[in-house]
Amino acid sequence: MFTSLGFWIFALAVLLLHNTTRGRLQNAILLAASYLLYVYFDWQFLLLLIAATTLTFVAGRNLAPTMRYRRLFFYAGILFDLGVLVFFKYAGFFTASISAALNGAGTTAQPYALNILLPLGLSFYIFRLLSYLFDVYSGRLAPTASWIDVALYVAFFPQIAAGPIERATHFLPRLQVTRRLDQAQFVTGLTYIFVGLFYKIAIADPLAPMTERTFSNISQLMPLDALAAIIWFSIRLYADFAGYSALAIGFSTWFGLPAMENFRQPYFSQSITEFWTRWHISLSTWFRDYLFYPLTRFLLKRLGRRFALAINAAGLLITMLVTGLWHGSSLTFSVWGLLHGVYLIWERLLARPPTASPGRWQHRITVVFNILVTQCLVAIAWVFFRAPTVQDALLFFQKLLAPNYALDSLWLRSVATPLIVLILFDVLLARAVRVTAFWDLHLIWRVALLAVLVVALFILGSSSSEAFVYVRF
Amino acid sequence: MSGSNRPVTVWRLLLTLLCLAIVLVVCDPIVGLLARRFYPEPPYILLDLPSFYGLDRFWQMTDAGQKPIVFTGSSMVFHGVSPHVFDSSIATLTGKSVVSVDVGVTGQTSDIARDLVQNIFIPKGASAIFYTTEMRAYAARITLASYQRSPLGYIMQFEPGLRKTLGLWLLQHSALARYHNNIHDLLTGARPIEYGVGYYNVLDDRGHASAWDVQDATLSMPIPNDFTPLKIEAPYQAALTEIATACQQSNTPCIVVNMPLHRTLYQVIPTTELAQFRTMILESLGKGKAAFWDFNTDSCIAWLGDKSFLDRDHLNEPGAKKFTYLLAVLYAHQFMGQPIPAESPVDCAYRSS
């Protein structure tokens, strides 16, 4: 949606209105705009969004330490939110699996299948609601008296479709003051938006047709096609989602409600553990704070410290499995999550204390080697993430490993160009640390860099606009 | 690099954007210069590489204040019409000077012709337009996707307005816009680079491809199945009507020309389909909007003879000279009021009233 002219006109009109009002009216305007946009994209589920928000709000009001039934309200709120998520996201899968199992057992009963549409942004807004409940229940956040504030936290239009999953503790306090767009905020937001558009239009979208073509035709793939498909998909998924996140941050910044960073050049990670501190940060930290830590703390308390390693491993495996399931009910996502869980456990088991500091070149070679190994592991897992079924993923690896490699320059260029563009762009962002460091450059460097990026965007940019990948989750 | 800790201001943004615009404006001609000097291909702005030459020549002419007569069509017009022969024939027949150019597009269908006529030829002031059509031009072909991903095809998908006007202006004046697809394809491996192969080597300065031989071998090949059975799809038929309407509204003389085919191909097309095609053209053009001259007739094909063809659907140079002269005679007669010379075999063609 961020790349359409209509969205820009809408966002700028709302921004104008937002900036000319003050106090709580600003929140009401933003909420109205968010609901309006939600109705435009997915009118049939607005009532569900309002209902989930209202019930969570009511539960939240009863979570103060002095409230008598706070535990009941807490679990009721959690159950309701999770129930909505499970029903819409997994009920179809469960009924289909049961039907398949019945058929497999030889019954002639007609399979009963649910064909349920997925509400826009469901996984993201349910996790926001849960975050609110957890934080209020744990005392990190006072229950909010304004329904509008909670509703806006859940439905804020730059973030509802695919995150970042902003925490209530960060978001809600900002709603208590009048927000004014100043020059620095405007330029910062615009910088994020440019970064997002570059990721999306210059890197992700041109790879979409090739990725879709290869993964929908796995049985016909040659080894080099399969290799290219892994590389293209790895680049596309990252650039698409990082682009979305940067755009969401940019637009949110304009409204004085900046979102957390969601990506920090994850393909430069030297380990899977590091990867998960750089990839989809808002989700990985959500699971860390609300699932992994409470779960391992609970198990440690029950079983004792002597099982620490096993508890840690179980915690990682469960967290990553749930992370996979969060993406969808398909078995492929579960395998993807479990694979990452195994990687993480393996790294914990192999972790050794650092030895004497290596020489400069030895250090550099080690860094590059670690990055390559890590990204190979990540790419292997992406095959399960993208393939339609687990069987397709296994067939994909068969095709990849078939001994028939004949390089040609067209293939090389089709793979090398997006890879090089992504690496260079991420090196720039990594060196800058923060996106706005661009404005600290000398004018000459600033213009030169921008000229290169604009020309690259113009030459490599896709003429067709592809939907954001993570919106479907 | 030197850093500064001043707060980011809109002024700094505007200054950067202004400098960026200056840099792009300065660098753009340099890109063009380097590309022309070191890159083997012409700008890939249309469906194929050769079509650039004719279109660029047309733009040069109109920029110089000339009002050229345009021949557009598929590869059949590259080979079949020689603007130099046309100009000299008109001069001989009428004593008047005209200038013409060949803007053929390999695989051109009627929708591409419509885009060119409506958005480039008429707005830029073509004095007359010959649309050399054929029986393959009225159904979707595999070339459509390539056309839509070409810069011109992409711009043509915009609604009329500032964006389209700006896009067309950039296509004419900006090297980066013109070489967009070349650089893109070079970087991404979308297609092999053409190092001087293809028939754009034999194009003259008016976009005409001279081919002197007769490729007898091609005549024994299977008949191209895209001529028959005749396929006419509504959007492509509508495109022809739109061409005629645009011509009428702008008072630009337009002539739709059905190109002659080699005898061996012509004979396998059922006469009912030939008649159906002619009827479709006449119905689409409507009364008085554009002229229709059909040279795909027994007598025209016999007059041209087998030696006038390069292959089944393209004239060679001797054929192009004979055919172009015929066009010049008819044009001089119908649009410049000249009598038809006695020895001219113009009656071989069917002409709409």
Cβ neighbours of residue A198 under 8 Å, at least 6 residues apart? A243, A425, A453, A456, A457
Which of A441, A446, A459 is the closest to B184 by Cβ? A459
A66 confidence band (pLDDT: 50, 70, 90): confident
Catalytic positions of A, please? 327
Mean pLDDT of A34-48: 87
Instruction: Please name the amino acid found at residue B316.
Output: N
**Of all residues in chain B, what percent carry a pLDDT higher than 90?**
55
Instruction: Give residue A116's pLDDT.
Output: 60
Asked if residue A182 lies in contact with residue A225, where contact means CB atoms within 8 angstroms, the answer is no
Instruction: Give residue A295's pLDDT.
Output: 93
Please tell me if residue A184 touches chain B, with a CB cutoff of 8 Å: yes
Lookup result for tokens 């009109």 = A13
Asked if residue B137 lies in contact with residue B236, where contact means CB atoms within 8 angstroms, the answer is yes
- Name the phi and psi angles at A121, rounded to 5: 70, 15
A79-94 tens-digit pLDDT: 999 998 888 888 777 7
Asked if residue A296 lies in contact with residue A315, where contact means CB atoms within 8 angstroms, the answer is yes
CA distance B154 to chain A (A): 8
More confident position, A109 or B112: B112
Distance CA A186, CA B33 (A): 38
Mean pLDDT of A325-342: 91
Mean pLDDT of A375-390: 94
Residues of chain B with C-beta less than 8 angstroms from the C-beta of A458: 176, 180
Which of B19, B149, B187 is the closest to A413 by Cβ? B187
Cβ neighbours of residue B95 under 8 Å, at least 6 residues apart? none
Per-residue CA distances from B232 to A173, B116, B239, B281 (Å): 65, 20, 11, 11
More confident position, B215 or A148: A148
Residues of chain B with C-beta less than 8 angstroms from the C-beta of A417: 187-189
Give the pair of three-digit tokens for residue A125: 């807004």
Asked if residue A239 lies in contact with residue A199, where contact means CB atoms within 8 angstroms, the answer is yes
Please tell me if residue A441 touches chain B, with a CB cutoff of 8 Å: yes
Distance CA B147, CA B48 (A): 8
C-alpha triplet B144, B148, B152: angle, nearest 5°: 125
Give the pair of three-digit tokens for residue B127: 């004095």
Cβ neighbours of residue A37 under 8 Å, at least 6 residues apart? A1, A10, A157
Asked if residue B316 lies in contact with residue B79, where contact means CB atoms within 8 angstroms, the answer is yes
Mean pLDDT of chain A: 88
Instruction: Give residue B1's pLDDT.
Output: 37
Give the pair of three-digit tokens for residue A106: 């030889």
Instruction: Please name the amino acid found at residue B67.
Output: K
Give the pair of three-digit tokens for residue A126: 């349910």
> Residue A288 class from Cβ within 10 Å (0-12 exposed, 13-18 middle, 19+ buried)?
middle
B19 confidence band (pLDDT: 50, 70, 90): very high
CA distance B177 to chain A (A): 9
Give the pair of three-digit tokens for residue A267: 């393909």
Three-state secondary structure readout of A116-146: CCCCCCHHHHHHHHHHHHHHHHCCCCCCCCC
Distance CA A207, CA A409 (A): 18
A401-460 tens-digit pLDDT: 887 777 888 889 999 999 999 999 999 999 887 888 888 889 999 999 999 999 999 999
CB within 8 Å: B1 and A441: yes
B129-139 tens-digit pLDDT: 999 998 888 88
Distance CA A294, CA A121 (A): 26
A67-79 tens-digit pLDDT: 788 889 999 999 9
CA distance A183 to chain B (A): 5
CB within 8 Å: B5 and A440: yes
Strand pairing partners for B100?
Answer: B69
> A interface mutation test: which of B5, B16, B180 has the most A CBs within 10 A?
B16
| ipTM (interface predicted TM) | 0.81
- Residue A126 confidence (pLDDT) above 90: yes
Instruction: Please name the amino acid found at residue B287.
Output: K
Please give the distance of CA B74 from its chain centroid, rounded to a whole number: 6
Asked if residue B57 lies in contact with residue B100, where contact means CB atoms within 8 angstroms, the answer is no
pTM above 0.80, yes or no: yes
Instruction: Give residue B221's pLDDT.
Output: 64
Q: Which residue of A has its CA nearest to B26?
A: A451
A275-321 tens-digit pLDDT: 999 999 999 999 999 999 999 999 999 888 888 888 999 999 999 99
Distance CA A181, CA A14 (A): 12
Segment holding A170, helix H or strand E: helix A168-171
Q: What is the DSSP string of A239-304?
A: HHHHHHHHHHHHHHHHTT-PPPP--S-GGG-SSHHHHHHHSSHHHHHHHIIIIIHHHHHHHHHHH-
Please tell me if residue A445 touches chain B, with a CB cutoff of 8 Å: yes
Which of B9, B23, B184 is the closest to A183 by Cβ? B9
Strand pairing partners for B131?
Answer: B72, B256
Longest Cα–Cα distance of chain B, Å, equals 86
Asked if residue B297 lies in contact with residue B346, where contact means CB atoms within 8 angstroms, the answer is no
CA distance B187 to chain A (A): 6
B66-95 tens-digit pLDDT: 999 999 998 899 899 999 999 999 999 999
**Of all residues in chain A, what percent carry a pLDDT higher than 70?**
92
- Residue B287 confidence (pLDDT) above 80: no
CB within 8 Å: B19 and A443: yes
Mean pLDDT of A312-334: 91
Segment holding B92, helix H or strand E: helix B83-94
Asked, as a colleague might, if the bond just before B229 is cis with ω within 30 of 0, I would say yes
Instruction: Give residue A281's pLDDT.
Output: 95
The b-or-e profile of B85-108 (16+ CB within 10 A means b, else e) is bbbbbbeebbeeebbbbbbbbbbb
Residues of chain A with C-beta less than 8 angstroms from the C-beta of B19: 443, 447
According to DSSP, residue B213 is labeled: -
How many interface pairs between A and B have CB atoms less than 8 angstroms apart?
78
